[in-house]
Amino acid sequence: MKYYSKIRLLAGKDHETLLFLILDAADSEDVPGLSKEKVIESREYRLFTQGVHSKVVVAEYSVYRTEQEITANLENERFERMIETGEAEVVSSGEMQIPRNEKRDRKTGEIVRKHKRSPFLILAIVGGSVAFSMAAFAVGKSFGRGTALPETSVESANVAEDGLIIPKQEQIADNAEQITVTIDRSYSAVPVEDLQLKGVVSKGKANILLPEFDKTDFFTHVPGYSWGFTSDPNGKKIEYYGGQAYDFTKDTKLYRVLVKYGGGSGTKDDPYLIDYFDQLELMSEEKARGYFKQTADISFPVWASHTSIRTVNELKADPNSEHFEYDGGGYLIENLNAPLFETVSGAVIRNVNIRNSAIVSDEYKDYGFLVCMAYNYHYLAEDEQVYETGETVIEHCSVSHSSITVKPPEPDADETEPAVTTMEVVPPDVIEYDEEGNIIEPEEEPAEPTKHAEHCIGAITGIGGQIDGCYVTDFGIFNELPDYYLYCGGISGKPATVSDSAVFYYSAQGNIFNAGGVVGSAAGARAYDAKGRELPNCYGGSIQGCLARNIILKTETAAGGIAAEGTTDAEGAVISNCYCNELDFSCGVFKDEKRVECIKAGTVGGMIAVDGSGKHGHLITNSVSHADFRVIGQKTRSSFDDTVRQAPSYAYYQENILTVLNKNTVNPVNPKEIYTGSFMFGENGVFGDETGNLAYPEKISDLLEKTIVEDTNE
Low-confidence winner among 230-234, 473-477, 631-635, 677-681 (lowest mean pLDDT): 677-681
pLDDT given at position 260? 94
β-sheet bridge partners, residue 207: 134, 247
**What is the C-alpha to C-alpha distance for residues 354 and 328, in angstroms, rounded to an integer?**
10
Q: Would you say residue 236 has pLDDT above 50?
A: yes
Upstream peptide bond of 697 is cis (omega within 30 degrees of 0)? yes
pLDDT given at position 415? 57
β-sheet bridge partners, residue 471: 398, 502
Q: Would you say residue 455 has pLDDT above 70?
A: yes
Share of the chain above pLDDT 90, in %: 46
Contact 371, 462 (CB under 8 A): yes
DSSP letter assigned to residue 178: E
Cβ-based neighbour number of residue 206 at 10 Å: 26
Of residues 634 and 678, the one with the higher pLDDT is 634
Strands 272-274 and 353-355 come out as unpaired
Q: Is 512 exposed, middle or buried (0-12, 13-18, 19+ CB in 10 A)?
A: buried
- Mark out the alpha helices in 42-161 (DSSP H runs): 43-50, 76-85
Low-confidence winner among 138-147, 242-251, 528-537 (lowest mean pLDDT): 138-147
Contact 522, 618 (CB under 8 A): yes
Q: H/E/C letters for each residue in 637-699?
A: CCEECCCCEEECHHHHHCCCHHHHHCCEEECCCCCCCEEECCCCCCCCCECCCCCCCCCCCCE
CA distances, 332 to each of 74, 335, 399 (Å): 22, 10, 10
The rounded mean pLDDT for the chain is 81
Taking the chain, what is the end-to-end CA distance rounded to the nearest angstrom?
Answer: 6
Produce one character per residue of 3-37: b if its CB has 16 or more CB atoms within 10 Å, e if not. Answer: bbbbbebbbeeeeeeebbbbbeebeeeeebebeee
Share of the chain above pLDDT 70, in %: 78
Produce one character per residue of 128-140: b if its CB has 16 or more CB atoms within 10 Å, e if not. Answer: ebbbbbbbebeee
pLDDT given at position 131? 32
Of residues 688 and 17, the one with the higher pLDDT is 17
Helix, strand or coil, per DSSP, at residue 368:
strand
Quick: pLDDT tens for 380-413. Answer: 777 778 888 899 999 999 999 999 999 998 876 5
**What is the C-alpha to C-alpha distance for residues 215 and 224, in angstroms, rounded to an integer?**
10
pLDDT given at position 532? 82
pLDDT bracket for residue 121 (50, 70, 90): very low
**What is the C-alpha to C-alpha distance for residues 169 and 166, in angstroms, rounded to an integer?**
9
Strands 674-676 and 664-666 come out as antiparallel
**What is the C-alpha to C-alpha distance for residues 70 and 550, in angstroms, rounded to an integer?**
10
Q: Would you say residue 362 has pLDDT above 90?
A: yes
What average pLDDT does this structure show over 18-25? 84
β-sheet bridge partners, residue 529: 378
In angstroms, how far is CA 327 from the centroid of its own chain?
14
Q: Would you say residue 369 has pLDDT above 90?
A: yes
Q: Which helix (H) or strand (E) holds 634?
A: strand 632-634
**What is the C-alpha to C-alpha distance for residues 73 and 267, in angstroms, rounded to an integer?**
39
Helix, strand or coil, per DSSP, at residue 278:
helix
pLDDT bracket for residue 71 (50, 70, 90): confident
CA distances, 651 to each of 576, 656, 686 (Å): 19, 9, 21
In a 13 Å sphere around the CA of 177, the CA atoms on its Cβ side amount to 11
Low-confidence winner among 63-77, 448-462, 653-667 (lowest mean pLDDT): 63-77
DSSP letter assigned to residue 315: -
Q: Please report the sign of the dihedral spanned by the C-alpha atoms of residue 489, residue 490, residue 496, residue 499.
A: negative
**What is the C-alpha to C-alpha distance for residues 325 and 333, in angstroms, rounded to an integer?**
17
Cβ-based neighbour number of residue 310 at 10 Å: 16
Cβ contacts of 142 within 8 Å, gap of 6 or more: 148
Rounded CA Rg of the chain: 30
pLDDT given at position 130? 30
In angstroms, how far is CA 3 from the centroid of its own chain?
25
In angstroms, how far is CA 431 from the centroid of its own chain?
63
Of 567, 568, 544, nearest to 673 (Cα)? 544
**What is the C-alpha to C-alpha distance for residues 674 and 668, in angstroms, rounded to an integer?**
10
Quick: pLDDT tens for 482-529. Answer: 999 999 999 999 999 999 999 988 999 999 999 999 999 999 999 998
Strands 512-516 and 484-489 come out as parallel
